[in-house]
Amino acid sequence: MEWFYVKGILIQSGINLTAVLGLSLLTGFTGLFSFGHAGFMAVGGYAAVFAGMRLGLPYPLALLFGGLVAGIVSLPIGRLTLNLKGDYFCIATLGFGEAIRLILDNVQTFGGARGWPGIPVTTDLFNVAVVAIIGTFVMVRLVNSRHGRNMIAVREEELAARTVGIDAFKYKMLSLFISAMYAGVAGGLQGYYLGFLQPKMFSITKSTEFTIMVIFGGIGSITGTVFGTLLLTALPEVLRAFAIWRLVVYGAAVIFIMISRPEGLMGGKELSLAALRRLFGPRPKREVPS
Amino acid sequence: MSLLETKNLTKQFGGLTAVDNVTFTVEEGSITGLIGPNGAGKTTVFNLITGIYKVTSGQILFEGVPIHDREPHVIAGMGITRTFQNIRLFRRLSVRDNILTAGHSGARYSVVDSILRTPRYVQEERQLARECERLMDLMDLTEVASSRASSLPYGLQRRLEIARALAVKPKMILLDEPAAGMNPDETMQLMSLISRIRDEFDCTVLVIDHRMDLIMGICENIVVLNFGRKLAEGPPEAVQTNPAVIEAYLGASGEGVAVHA
Protein backbone atom coordinates (compact mmCIF):
# COMPACT_ATOMS: atom_id res chain seq x y z
CA MET A 1 0.00 0.00 0.00
CA GLU A 2 1.20 3.43 -0.84
CA TRP A 3 2.28 5.63 2.08
CA PHE A 4 0.41 8.59 0.62
CA TYR A 5 -2.85 6.63 0.87
CA VAL A 6 -2.19 5.42 4.42
CA LYS A 7 -1.19 8.91 5.44
CA GLY A 8 -4.46 10.23 4.09
CA ILE A 9 -6.43 7.73 6.19
CA LEU A 10 -4.40 8.64 9.27
CA ILE A 11 -5.00 12.35 8.77
CA GLN A 12 -8.73 11.79 8.30
CA SER A 13 -8.71 9.63 11.46
CA GLY A 14 -7.10 12.45 13.41
CA ILE A 15 -9.64 14.97 12.13
CA ASN A 16 -12.52 12.65 12.97
CA LEU A 17 -11.02 11.89 16.35
CA THR A 18 -10.94 15.57 17.23
CA ALA A 19 -14.63 15.93 16.40
CA VAL A 20 -15.66 12.65 18.02
CA LEU A 21 -13.77 13.40 21.26
CA GLY A 22 -15.96 16.46 21.66
CA LEU A 23 -19.11 14.51 20.87
CA SER A 24 -17.99 11.85 23.33
CA LEU A 25 -18.04 14.43 26.11
CA LEU A 26 -21.57 15.45 25.18
CA THR A 27 -23.06 12.04 24.41
CA GLY A 28 -20.84 9.65 26.33
CA PHE A 29 -20.30 11.63 29.48
CA THR A 30 -23.22 14.04 29.69
CA GLY A 31 -25.82 11.79 28.09
CA LEU A 32 -27.04 14.19 25.41
CA PHE A 33 -27.43 12.88 21.89
CA SER A 34 -26.61 15.26 19.07
CA PHE A 35 -27.28 14.70 15.42
CA GLY A 36 -26.05 18.12 14.43
CA HIS A 37 -22.37 18.01 15.18
CA ALA A 38 -21.45 18.26 11.53
CA GLY A 39 -23.12 21.67 11.76
CA PHE A 40 -20.65 22.81 14.40
CA MET A 41 -17.88 21.34 12.29
CA ALA A 42 -19.09 23.39 9.32
CA VAL A 43 -19.26 26.58 11.38
CA GLY A 44 -15.76 25.98 12.72
CA GLY A 45 -14.40 25.03 9.31
CA TYR A 46 -15.72 28.09 7.53
CA ALA A 47 -14.72 30.36 10.43
CA ALA A 48 -11.18 28.97 10.50
CA VAL A 49 -10.73 29.35 6.76
CA PHE A 50 -12.24 32.84 6.94
CA ALA A 51 -9.82 33.75 9.74
CA GLY A 52 -6.86 32.40 7.80
CA MET A 53 -7.64 33.68 4.31
CA ARG A 54 -9.53 36.90 4.95
CA LEU A 55 -8.23 38.00 8.36
CA GLY A 56 -4.74 36.69 7.79
CA LEU A 57 -4.45 34.77 11.06
CA PRO A 58 -1.72 32.11 11.16
CA TYR A 59 -2.87 28.49 10.89
CA PRO A 60 -2.90 27.52 14.60
CA LEU A 61 -4.78 30.69 15.54
CA ALA A 62 -7.21 30.19 12.66
CA LEU A 63 -8.02 26.69 13.97
CA LEU A 64 -8.57 28.07 17.48
CA PHE A 65 -10.72 30.85 16.05
CA GLY A 66 -12.85 28.26 14.25
CA GLY A 67 -13.25 26.29 17.48
CA LEU A 68 -14.19 29.39 19.40
CA VAL A 69 -16.79 30.51 16.87
CA ALA A 70 -18.38 27.04 16.85
CA GLY A 71 -18.40 27.13 20.66
CA ILE A 72 -20.03 30.55 20.73
CA VAL A 73 -22.66 29.50 18.18
CA SER A 74 -23.51 26.55 20.44
CA LEU A 75 -24.38 28.81 23.36
CA PRO A 76 -27.68 30.31 22.14
CA ILE A 77 -28.66 26.89 20.80
CA GLY A 78 -27.97 25.33 24.18
CA ARG A 79 -29.79 28.13 25.95
CA LEU A 80 -32.91 27.42 23.89
CA THR A 81 -32.82 23.63 23.71
CA LEU A 82 -31.02 22.18 26.71
CA ASN A 83 -34.06 22.60 28.90
CA LEU A 84 -35.91 20.28 26.56
CA LYS A 85 -36.18 16.76 27.82
CA GLY A 86 -34.34 13.85 26.24
CA ASP A 87 -35.25 13.29 22.62
CA TYR A 88 -36.32 16.85 21.97
CA PHE A 89 -32.77 18.13 22.32
CA CYS A 90 -31.70 15.52 19.82
CA ILE A 91 -34.31 16.68 17.31
CA ALA A 92 -33.31 20.31 17.84
CA THR A 93 -29.66 19.54 17.06
CA LEU A 94 -30.75 17.68 13.96
CA GLY A 95 -32.61 20.78 12.81
CA PHE A 96 -29.64 22.97 13.63
CA GLY A 97 -27.22 20.84 11.62
CA GLU A 98 -29.43 20.93 8.55
CA ALA A 99 -30.12 24.65 8.95
CA ILE A 100 -26.40 25.46 9.01
CA ARG A 101 -25.83 23.43 5.88
CA LEU A 102 -28.69 25.15 4.04
CA ILE A 103 -27.59 28.60 5.17
CA LEU A 104 -24.06 27.96 3.88
CA ASP A 105 -25.55 26.61 0.67
CA ASN A 106 -27.34 29.87 0.06
CA VAL A 107 -24.99 32.53 1.42
CA GLN A 108 -22.74 33.45 -1.48
CA THR A 109 -20.03 35.13 0.64
CA PHE A 110 -18.32 31.77 1.20
CA GLY A 111 -19.01 30.33 -2.21
CA GLY A 112 -22.48 28.94 -1.53
CA ALA A 113 -23.23 25.44 -2.74
CA ARG A 114 -20.27 25.52 -5.13
CA GLY A 115 -17.96 25.54 -2.14
CA TRP A 116 -14.88 27.46 -1.14
CA PRO A 117 -11.88 26.44 -3.26
CA GLY A 118 -8.25 27.47 -3.09
CA ILE A 119 -7.64 27.00 0.63
CA PRO A 120 -3.89 26.51 1.20
CA VAL A 121 -3.32 22.87 2.15
CA THR A 122 -1.67 23.28 5.53
CA THR A 123 -2.96 20.35 7.57
CA ASP A 124 -0.51 17.46 7.53
CA LEU A 125 -0.03 14.33 9.59
CA PHE A 126 2.18 16.13 12.10
CA ASN A 127 -0.18 18.93 13.03
CA VAL A 128 -3.24 16.67 13.02
CA ALA A 129 -1.42 14.35 15.41
CA VAL A 130 -0.50 17.27 17.65
CA VAL A 131 -4.10 18.52 17.78
CA ALA A 132 -5.56 15.05 18.36
CA ILE A 133 -3.08 14.27 21.13
CA ILE A 134 -3.62 17.60 22.89
CA GLY A 135 -7.37 17.10 22.44
CA THR A 136 -7.26 13.64 24.01
CA PHE A 137 -5.03 14.84 26.83
CA VAL A 138 -7.31 17.77 27.69
CA MET A 139 -10.39 15.54 27.55
CA VAL A 140 -8.92 12.91 29.85
CA ARG A 141 -8.05 15.54 32.42
CA LEU A 142 -11.40 17.25 32.15
CA VAL A 143 -13.31 14.01 32.61
CA ASN A 144 -11.23 13.15 35.67
CA SER A 145 -12.13 16.30 37.54
CA ARG A 146 -15.11 17.40 39.56
CA HIS A 147 -16.48 19.03 36.41
CA GLY A 148 -16.31 15.74 34.51
CA ARG A 149 -17.86 13.88 37.43
CA ASN A 150 -20.69 16.39 37.56
CA MET A 151 -21.40 15.82 33.87
CA ILE A 152 -21.46 12.06 34.42
CA ALA A 153 -23.83 12.58 37.36
CA VAL A 154 -26.18 14.51 35.07
CA ARG A 155 -26.07 11.62 32.61
CA GLU A 156 -26.69 9.01 35.29
CA GLU A 157 -29.51 10.63 37.25
CA GLU A 158 -30.24 14.26 36.56
CA LEU A 159 -32.71 14.79 39.39
CA ALA A 160 -30.40 13.33 42.01
CA ALA A 161 -27.52 15.36 40.59
CA ARG A 162 -29.49 18.54 41.12
CA THR A 163 -30.38 17.65 44.69
CA VAL A 164 -26.70 17.25 45.56
CA GLY A 165 -26.10 20.77 44.28
CA ILE A 166 -25.06 20.20 40.67
CA ASP A 167 -26.29 22.89 38.29
CA ALA A 168 -27.38 20.45 35.59
CA PHE A 169 -28.16 23.15 33.04
CA LYS A 170 -24.77 24.82 33.47
CA TYR A 171 -22.94 21.53 33.02
CA LYS A 172 -24.95 20.66 29.92
CA MET A 173 -24.06 24.08 28.48
CA LEU A 174 -20.40 23.61 29.35
CA SER A 175 -20.38 20.18 27.80
CA LEU A 176 -22.09 21.44 24.64
CA PHE A 177 -19.71 24.41 24.39
CA ILE A 178 -16.58 22.29 24.71
CA SER A 179 -17.85 19.64 22.34
CA ALA A 180 -18.78 22.30 19.75
CA MET A 181 -15.27 23.75 20.09
CA TYR A 182 -13.75 20.37 19.34
CA ALA A 183 -16.00 20.00 16.32
CA GLY A 184 -15.06 23.50 15.20
CA VAL A 185 -11.34 22.80 15.37
CA ALA A 186 -11.93 19.57 13.47
CA GLY A 187 -13.77 21.56 10.80
CA GLY A 188 -10.79 23.86 10.44
CA LEU A 189 -8.42 20.91 10.13
CA GLN A 190 -10.71 19.44 7.49
CA GLY A 191 -10.82 22.62 5.41
CA TYR A 192 -7.07 23.11 5.49
CA TYR A 193 -6.53 19.43 4.68
CA LEU A 194 -8.74 19.18 1.62
CA GLY A 195 -8.06 22.73 0.42
CA PHE A 196 -11.76 22.97 -0.24
CA LEU A 197 -14.95 23.40 1.79
CA GLN A 198 -18.46 22.65 0.65
CA PRO A 199 -21.67 22.62 2.73
CA LYS A 200 -22.50 19.16 1.37
CA MET A 201 -19.53 17.75 3.32
CA PHE A 202 -21.32 18.48 6.59
CA SER A 203 -24.57 16.64 6.07
CA ILE A 204 -26.50 14.64 8.61
CA THR A 205 -24.66 11.52 7.45
CA LYS A 206 -21.50 12.99 8.94
CA SER A 207 -23.23 13.74 12.28
CA THR A 208 -24.63 10.23 12.40
CA GLU A 209 -21.23 8.75 11.64
CA PHE A 210 -19.76 10.62 14.63
CA THR A 211 -22.50 9.42 16.94
CA ILE A 212 -21.96 5.84 15.72
CA MET A 213 -18.25 6.18 16.52
CA VAL A 214 -18.99 7.30 20.09
CA ILE A 215 -21.44 4.49 20.74
CA PHE A 216 -19.30 1.93 18.94
CA GLY A 217 -16.35 2.79 21.18
CA GLY A 218 -18.46 2.70 24.30
CA ILE A 219 -20.37 5.41 26.13
CA GLY A 220 -18.32 7.18 28.76
CA SER A 221 -14.88 5.98 27.70
CA ILE A 222 -12.17 8.13 26.10
CA THR A 223 -10.17 5.05 25.19
CA GLY A 224 -13.25 3.62 23.51
CA THR A 225 -13.76 6.84 21.58
CA VAL A 226 -10.17 6.76 20.31
CA PHE A 227 -10.34 3.10 19.22
CA GLY A 228 -13.84 3.42 17.84
CA THR A 229 -12.93 6.41 15.70
CA LEU A 230 -9.68 4.97 14.38
CA LEU A 231 -11.36 1.64 13.56
CA LEU A 232 -14.45 3.05 11.93
CA THR A 233 -12.49 5.60 9.88
CA ALA A 234 -10.19 2.88 8.57
CA LEU A 235 -12.86 0.23 8.10
CA PRO A 236 -14.46 1.58 4.88
CA GLU A 237 -10.97 1.81 3.38
CA VAL A 238 -10.07 -1.72 4.39
CA LEU A 239 -13.33 -2.82 2.82
CA ARG A 240 -12.53 -1.27 -0.56
CA ALA A 241 -12.03 -4.82 -1.81
CA PHE A 242 -15.81 -5.27 -1.58
CA ALA A 243 -16.24 -2.44 -4.10
CA ILE A 244 -19.91 -1.44 -4.31
CA TRP A 245 -20.82 -3.66 -1.33
CA ARG A 246 -18.40 -1.72 0.85
CA LEU A 247 -20.91 0.37 2.79
CA VAL A 248 -23.26 -2.56 3.20
CA VAL A 249 -20.48 -4.54 4.84
CA TYR A 250 -19.61 -1.50 6.93
CA GLY A 251 -23.19 -1.25 8.15
CA ALA A 252 -23.35 -4.97 8.85
CA ALA A 253 -20.09 -4.81 10.81
CA VAL A 254 -21.40 -1.98 12.99
CA ILE A 255 -24.67 -3.83 13.63
CA PHE A 256 -22.79 -7.01 14.46
CA ILE A 257 -20.61 -5.24 17.04
CA MET A 258 -23.57 -3.49 18.62
CA ILE A 259 -25.44 -6.78 18.98
CA SER A 260 -22.50 -8.73 20.34
CA ARG A 261 -21.21 -5.90 22.53
CA PRO A 262 -24.05 -3.47 23.25
CA GLU A 263 -21.93 -1.51 25.70
CA GLY A 264 -19.47 -0.66 22.95
CA LEU A 265 -15.86 -1.74 22.52
CA MET A 266 -14.71 -0.53 25.93
CA GLY A 267 -18.03 -0.66 27.76
CA GLY A 268 -17.38 2.51 29.76
CA LYS A 269 -13.98 1.29 30.93
CA GLU A 270 -10.71 3.09 30.31
CA LEU A 271 -7.46 1.52 29.21
CA SER A 272 -4.78 2.98 31.43
CA LEU A 273 -1.47 1.87 32.88
CA ALA A 274 -3.15 1.36 36.23
CA ALA A 275 -5.87 -0.80 34.66
CA LEU A 276 -3.28 -2.89 32.82
CA ARG A 277 -1.36 -3.38 36.04
CA ARG A 278 -4.54 -4.49 37.80
CA LEU A 279 -5.21 -6.94 35.00
CA PHE A 280 -1.76 -8.53 34.74
CA GLY A 281 0.10 -7.57 37.88
CA PRO A 282 -0.05 -9.06 41.38
CA ARG A 283 -3.16 -8.51 43.43
CA PRO A 284 -3.09 -5.02 44.90
CA LYS A 285 -3.20 -4.48 48.62
CA ARG A 286 -6.45 -3.18 50.00
CA GLU A 287 -6.41 0.58 50.21
CA VAL A 288 -6.22 1.92 53.71
CA PRO A 289 -8.03 5.21 54.18
CA SER A 290 -5.84 7.74 55.92
CA MET B 1 -35.09 28.87 66.23
CA SER B 2 -36.88 26.80 63.66
CA LEU B 3 -34.66 25.76 60.80
CA LEU B 4 -37.38 25.19 58.24
CA GLU B 5 -40.79 26.74 58.12
CA THR B 6 -43.61 26.33 55.63
CA LYS B 7 -46.40 28.87 55.54
CA ASN B 8 -49.73 28.02 53.89
CA LEU B 9 -47.89 25.76 51.46
CA THR B 10 -50.14 24.83 48.53
CA LYS B 11 -49.47 22.81 45.39
CA GLN B 12 -52.02 22.17 42.69
CA PHE B 13 -51.65 19.89 39.70
CA GLY B 14 -54.37 21.09 37.35
CA GLY B 15 -57.55 20.61 39.36
CA LEU B 16 -55.97 18.40 41.99
CA THR B 17 -54.75 20.01 45.17
CA ALA B 18 -51.94 17.75 46.33
CA VAL B 19 -50.83 19.96 49.21
CA ASP B 20 -53.38 22.28 50.73
CA ASN B 21 -52.44 25.15 53.01
CA VAL B 22 -49.88 23.25 55.03
CA THR B 23 -48.04 25.15 57.75
CA PHE B 24 -45.43 23.46 59.91
CA THR B 25 -41.97 24.01 61.33
CA VAL B 26 -38.89 21.86 61.77
CA GLU B 27 -36.72 22.76 64.74
CA GLU B 28 -32.98 22.89 64.32
CA GLY B 29 -31.31 19.68 65.51
CA SER B 30 -34.57 17.74 65.65
CA ILE B 31 -35.73 14.56 64.00
CA THR B 32 -39.15 15.31 62.61
CA GLY B 33 -41.47 12.77 61.05
CA LEU B 34 -43.87 13.41 58.20
CA ILE B 35 -46.57 10.75 58.06
CA GLY B 36 -49.90 10.14 56.45
CA PRO B 37 -51.81 7.58 54.38
CA ASN B 38 -50.84 6.95 50.75
CA GLY B 39 -51.46 9.95 48.54
CA ALA B 40 -51.49 12.36 51.46
CA GLY B 41 -48.94 14.59 49.76
CA LYS B 42 -45.82 13.76 51.77
CA THR B 43 -43.47 13.29 48.85
CA THR B 44 -44.96 16.37 47.18
CA VAL B 45 -43.97 18.37 50.26
CA PHE B 46 -40.41 17.03 49.85
CA ASN B 47 -40.40 17.96 46.19
CA LEU B 48 -41.56 21.46 47.09
CA ILE B 49 -38.92 21.92 49.78
CA THR B 50 -36.12 20.74 47.50
CA GLY B 51 -37.32 22.94 44.64
CA ILE B 52 -38.18 20.11 42.25
CA TYR B 53 -41.77 21.40 42.12
CA LYS B 54 -42.67 25.08 42.16
CA VAL B 55 -45.17 26.05 44.86
CA THR B 56 -48.59 27.24 43.73
CA SER B 57 -48.88 29.53 46.73
CA GLY B 58 -47.44 29.89 50.19
CA GLN B 59 -43.89 30.15 51.42
CA ILE B 60 -40.98 27.97 52.49
CA LEU B 61 -38.38 29.59 54.73
CA PHE B 62 -35.02 28.02 55.48
CA GLU B 63 -33.10 29.77 58.22
CA GLY B 64 -35.55 32.63 57.72
CA VAL B 65 -34.75 32.94 53.99
CA PRO B 66 -37.45 32.22 51.40
CA ILE B 67 -36.36 29.31 49.21
CA HIS B 68 -39.55 28.36 47.36
CA ASP B 69 -38.52 30.18 44.16
CA ARG B 70 -35.00 28.75 43.97
CA GLU B 71 -33.57 26.00 41.78
CA PRO B 72 -32.88 22.58 43.37
CA HIS B 73 -29.10 22.93 43.12
CA VAL B 74 -29.22 26.32 44.84
CA ILE B 75 -31.33 24.88 47.65
CA ALA B 76 -28.87 21.99 47.96
CA GLY B 77 -26.07 24.55 48.15
CA MET B 78 -27.90 26.27 51.00
CA GLY B 79 -27.83 23.02 52.95
CA ILE B 80 -30.93 20.96 52.17
CA THR B 81 -30.55 17.61 50.50
CA ARG B 82 -32.58 14.44 50.26
CA THR B 83 -32.96 10.80 49.39
CA PHE B 84 -35.65 9.37 47.15
CA GLN B 85 -38.43 6.90 47.72
CA ASN B 86 -37.36 4.96 44.63
CA ILE B 87 -33.60 5.07 45.12
CA ARG B 88 -31.83 7.33 42.61
CA LEU B 89 -28.13 6.51 42.66
CA PHE B 90 -25.59 7.22 39.94
CA ARG B 91 -26.09 3.60 39.03
CA ARG B 92 -23.14 2.91 36.76
CA LEU B 93 -20.63 4.60 39.07
CA SER B 94 -18.77 2.99 41.92
CA VAL B 95 -19.77 3.62 45.51
CA ARG B 96 -16.70 5.82 45.88
CA ASP B 97 -17.52 7.90 42.80
CA ASN B 98 -21.11 8.38 43.95
CA ILE B 99 -19.89 9.96 47.16
CA LEU B 100 -16.98 11.78 45.54
CA THR B 101 -19.32 13.39 43.01
CA ALA B 102 -21.71 14.61 45.68
CA GLY B 103 -18.82 16.20 47.58
CA HIS B 104 -18.04 18.45 44.61
CA SER B 105 -19.05 21.66 46.35
CA GLY B 106 -16.15 21.15 48.75
CA ALA B 107 -13.83 22.09 45.88
CA ARG B 108 -13.70 25.35 43.95
CA TYR B 109 -11.12 24.68 41.23
CA SER B 110 -12.03 25.66 37.67
CA VAL B 111 -12.07 23.80 34.36
CA VAL B 112 -8.69 25.32 33.51
CA ASP B 113 -7.30 24.12 36.86
CA SER B 114 -8.40 20.59 36.03
CA ILE B 115 -6.83 20.65 32.56
CA LEU B 116 -3.52 22.06 33.81
CA ARG B 117 -3.60 19.99 37.02
CA THR B 118 -2.63 23.04 39.06
CA PRO B 119 -1.58 22.69 42.71
CA ARG B 120 -5.07 23.88 43.55
CA TYR B 121 -6.64 20.98 41.65
CA VAL B 122 -4.28 18.48 43.28
CA GLN B 123 -4.84 19.80 46.77
CA GLU B 124 -8.62 20.11 46.57
CA GLU B 125 -8.99 16.78 44.82
CA ARG B 126 -6.94 15.15 47.59
CA GLN B 127 -9.16 16.81 50.17
CA LEU B 128 -12.31 15.48 48.43
CA ALA B 129 -10.86 11.97 48.34
CA ARG B 130 -10.01 12.15 52.04
CA GLU B 131 -13.50 13.24 52.99
CA CYS B 132 -14.99 10.57 50.78
CA GLU B 133 -12.92 7.84 52.50
CA ARG B 134 -13.90 9.18 55.90
CA LEU B 135 -17.57 9.15 55.03
CA MET B 136 -17.39 5.63 53.60
CA ASP B 137 -15.71 4.57 56.81
CA LEU B 138 -18.40 6.13 58.98
CA MET B 139 -21.16 4.60 56.89
CA ASP B 140 -19.54 1.16 56.68
CA LEU B 141 -19.21 1.30 52.93
CA THR B 142 -15.43 0.93 52.65
CA GLU B 143 -15.75 -2.80 51.92
CA VAL B 144 -17.78 -2.10 48.78
CA ALA B 145 -16.02 1.14 47.73
CA SER B 146 -15.20 -0.10 44.24
CA SER B 147 -18.48 -1.90 43.53
CA ARG B 148 -20.94 -0.52 41.06
CA ALA B 149 -23.81 1.19 42.86
CA SER B 150 -26.39 -0.83 40.92
CA SER B 151 -24.80 -4.10 42.02
CA LEU B 152 -25.28 -3.47 45.74
CA PRO B 153 -27.99 -5.20 47.74
CA TYR B 154 -31.01 -3.07 48.45
CA GLY B 155 -30.17 -2.12 52.03
CA LEU B 156 -26.69 -0.95 51.04
CA GLN B 157 -28.13 1.09 48.17
CA ARG B 158 -30.30 2.92 50.68
CA ARG B 159 -27.32 3.50 52.92
CA LEU B 160 -25.21 4.71 49.99
CA GLU B 161 -27.94 7.18 49.05
CA ILE B 162 -27.86 8.58 52.57
CA ALA B 163 -24.05 8.71 52.47
CA ARG B 164 -24.18 10.55 49.17
CA ALA B 165 -26.58 13.08 50.65
CA LEU B 166 -24.30 13.56 53.67
CA ALA B 167 -21.35 14.23 51.34
CA VAL B 168 -23.08 17.51 50.48
CA LYS B 169 -22.54 18.51 54.13
CA PRO B 170 -26.18 19.44 54.59
CA LYS B 171 -27.73 21.28 57.48
CA MET B 172 -30.90 19.35 56.86
CA ILE B 173 -31.55 16.00 55.24
CA LEU B 174 -34.91 14.80 53.95
CA LEU B 175 -35.34 11.03 53.96
CA ASP B 176 -38.18 9.69 51.81
CA GLU B 177 -39.25 6.28 53.13
CA PRO B 178 -35.76 5.10 54.07
CA ALA B 179 -37.12 1.90 55.62
CA ALA B 180 -39.18 0.82 52.61
CA GLY B 181 -38.43 -2.79 51.81
CA MET B 182 -36.24 -3.34 54.84
CA ASN B 183 -36.61 -6.22 57.29
CA PRO B 184 -37.02 -5.49 61.04
CA ASP B 185 -33.32 -5.98 61.67
CA GLU B 186 -32.32 -3.53 58.94
CA THR B 187 -34.96 -1.10 60.21
CA MET B 188 -33.38 -1.19 63.68
CA GLN B 189 -29.98 -0.41 62.16
CA LEU B 190 -31.52 2.40 60.14
CA MET B 191 -33.03 3.94 63.28
CA SER B 192 -29.68 4.10 65.00
CA LEU B 193 -28.16 5.45 61.78
CA ILE B 194 -30.69 8.27 61.64
CA SER B 195 -29.92 9.22 65.24
CA ARG B 196 -26.20 9.15 64.40
CA ILE B 197 -26.75 11.43 61.42
CA ARG B 198 -28.28 14.01 63.71
CA ASP B 199 -25.62 13.69 66.42
CA GLU B 200 -22.41 13.13 64.43
CA PHE B 201 -23.16 15.19 61.35
CA ASP B 202 -24.99 17.91 63.19
CA CYS B 203 -27.80 17.59 60.73
CA THR B 204 -31.52 18.14 61.17
CA VAL B 205 -33.64 15.25 59.85
CA LEU B 206 -37.08 15.27 58.27
CA VAL B 207 -38.25 11.75 57.55
CA ILE B 208 -41.23 10.23 55.75
CA ASP B 209 -42.11 6.68 56.61
CA HIS B 210 -44.95 4.26 57.03
CA ARG B 211 -43.22 2.24 59.73
CA MET B 212 -44.81 3.57 62.90
CA ASP B 213 -42.28 1.80 65.10
CA LEU B 214 -39.54 3.75 63.33
CA ILE B 215 -41.33 7.09 63.34
CA MET B 216 -42.55 6.82 66.92
CA GLY B 217 -39.16 5.53 68.05
CA ILE B 218 -36.93 8.30 66.79
CA CYS B 219 -38.99 11.41 66.05
CA GLU B 220 -39.38 14.22 68.53
CA ASN B 221 -42.05 15.88 66.50
CA ILE B 222 -44.51 14.49 64.00
CA VAL B 223 -46.54 16.16 61.28
CA VAL B 224 -49.53 14.21 59.99
CA LEU B 225 -50.94 14.86 56.53
CA ASN B 226 -54.16 13.55 55.02
CA PHE B 227 -55.55 14.47 51.59
CA GLY B 228 -52.95 17.23 51.36
CA ARG B 229 -54.02 18.90 54.59
CA LYS B 230 -52.27 18.98 57.89
CA LEU B 231 -54.19 16.82 60.32
CA ALA B 232 -52.06 17.12 63.41
CA GLU B 233 -48.63 18.14 64.62
CA GLY B 234 -46.89 17.37 67.89
CA PRO B 235 -44.83 14.88 69.88
CA PRO B 236 -45.44 11.18 69.18
CA GLU B 237 -47.63 10.52 72.23
CA ALA B 238 -50.01 13.35 71.38
CA VAL B 239 -50.24 12.38 67.72
CA GLN B 240 -50.81 8.73 68.57
CA THR B 241 -53.88 9.50 70.66
CA ASN B 242 -55.26 12.21 68.42
CA PRO B 243 -58.76 11.07 67.32
CA ALA B 244 -58.46 12.69 63.89
CA VAL B 245 -55.25 10.76 63.19
CA ILE B 246 -56.76 7.50 64.34
CA GLU B 247 -59.72 8.09 62.09
CA ALA B 248 -57.53 8.81 59.08
CA TYR B 249 -55.57 5.60 59.58
CA LEU B 250 -58.25 3.21 60.74
CA GLY B 251 -61.46 4.73 59.50
CA ALA B 252 -64.23 6.34 61.56
CA SER B 253 -65.33 5.43 65.13
CA GLY B 254 -62.04 3.99 66.27
CA GLU B 255 -62.59 3.79 70.00
CA GLY B 256 -59.38 4.20 71.89
CA VAL B 257 -57.31 2.14 69.47
CA ALA B 258 -53.66 3.02 69.27
CA VAL B 259 -52.16 3.70 65.88
CA HIS B 260 -50.35 0.73 64.44
CA ALA B 261 -49.51 0.58 60.77
pLDDT at res. A249? 79
Q: Is the pLDDT of residue B108 over 80?
A: yes
- pLDDT for A249-271, tens place per residue? 778 877 887 787 777 777 778 87
pLDDT at res. A8? 93
For chain A, percent of residues with pLDDT exceeding 90: 67
User: What single string gives the DSSP state of each residue in B20-79?
Assistant: EEEEEEEETT-EEEEE-STTSSHHHHHHHHTTSS--SEEEEEETTEE-TTS-HHHHHHHT
- From chain A residues 32-71, the ones with a CB under 8 A of any chain B CB are none
Q: Cα distance from A251 to chain B (closest Cα, Å)?
A: 29
User: What single string gives the DSSP state of each residue in chain A?
Assistant: --HHHHHHHHHHHHHHHHHHHHHIIIIIIT----S-HHHHHHHHHHHHHHHHHTS---HHHHHHHHHHHHHHHHHHHHHHHTTS-THHHHHHHHHHHHHHHHHHHH-GGGTGGG-B--------HHHHHHHHHHHHHHHHHHHTSHHHHHHHHHHH-HHHHHHTT--HHHHHHHHHHHHHHHHHHHHHHHHHHHT-B-GGGGSHHHHHHHHHHHHHH-TT-HHHHHHHHHHHHHHHHHGGGGGGGHHHHHHHHHHHHHHH-TT-SSTT----HHHHHHHHSPPPPPP---
pLDDT at res. A1? 66
- pLDDT for A203-232, tens place per residue? 998 999 999 999 888 889 999 999 999 998
| A25-29, A74-78, A232-236: least confident range | A232-236
Average pLDDT, chain B: 91
Q: Is the pLDDT of residue B258 over 60?
A: no
Q: SS3 for B16?
A: strand
Q: SS3 for B176?
A: strand
pLDDT, average across residues B90-100: 95
pLDDT at res. B19? 95
| A-B Cβ pairs (cutoff 8 Å, strict) | 105
Asked if the C-beta of A138 comes within 8 angstroms of chain B's C-beta atoms, the answer is yes
Q: In chain A, which residues have their Cβ closer than 8 Å to the Cβ of B102?
A: 164-165
CATH top-level class of B1-79+169-261: alpha beta
pLDDT at res. A146? 96
pLDDT at res. A289? 47
Edge-to-edge strands of the sheet including B172-176?
B80-82, B172-176, B204-208, B31-35, B221-226, B229-234
- pLDDT for A6-65, tens place per residue? 999 999 999 999 999 999 999 999 999 999 999 999 999 999 999 999 999 999 999 999
- pLDDT for A122-139, tens place per residue? 999 999 999 999 999 999
Which candidate from B97, B117, B121 shows the least CB-CB separation from A149?
B97
Residues in a beta bridge with B66: B61
Q: Is the pLDDT of residue A286 over 60?
A: no
Confidence of residue A282 (pLDDT cuts 50, 70, 90): low
pLDDT at res. A254? 77
**Where do the structural domains in chain A lie, given as residue ranges?**
3-217
pLDDT, average across residues A192-207: 94
- pLDDT for B200-245, tens place per residue? 999 999 999 988 888 999 999 999 999 999 999 999 999 988 998 8
To test the contact with chain A by mutation, choose from B53, B74, B82, B92 the residue with the greatest count of A C-beta atoms within 10 A, namely: B92
pLDDT at res. A268? 74
Q: Cα distance from B27 to chain A (closest Cα, Å)?
A: 22
> Which of the pair, B73 or A85, is modelled with greater confidence?
B73
pLDDT at res. B183? 86
> Which of the pair, A285 or B231, is modelled with greater confidence?
B231
Asked if the C-beta of A83 comes within 8 angstroms of chain B's C-beta atoms, the answer is no
Which candidate from B73, B109, B125 shows the least CB-CB separation from A162?
B73
Average pLDDT, chain A: 90
pLDDT at res. B253? 55
Q: Which of B182, B185, B94, B98 is nearest to B144 (CA)?
A: B94
For helices A87-106 and A59-81, angle between their N-to-C axes, nearest 10 degrees: 130
For chain B, percent of residues with pLDDT exceeding 70: 96
pLDDT at res. B29? 94
Contact A157 B81 (CB under 8 A): no
A-chain residue closest to B73, CA distance:
A165
pLDDT, average across residues B97-101: 96
Q: Is the pLDDT of residue B261 over 60?
A: no
Contact B76 A165 (CB under 8 A): yes
Q: In chain A, which residues have their Cβ closer than 8 Å to the Cβ of B165?
A: 163-164
pLDDT at res. A290? 44
Q: In chain A, which residues have their Cβ closer than 8 Å to the Cβ of B117?
A: 141
Q: In chain B, which residues have their Cβ closer than 8 Å to the Cβ of A275?
A: none
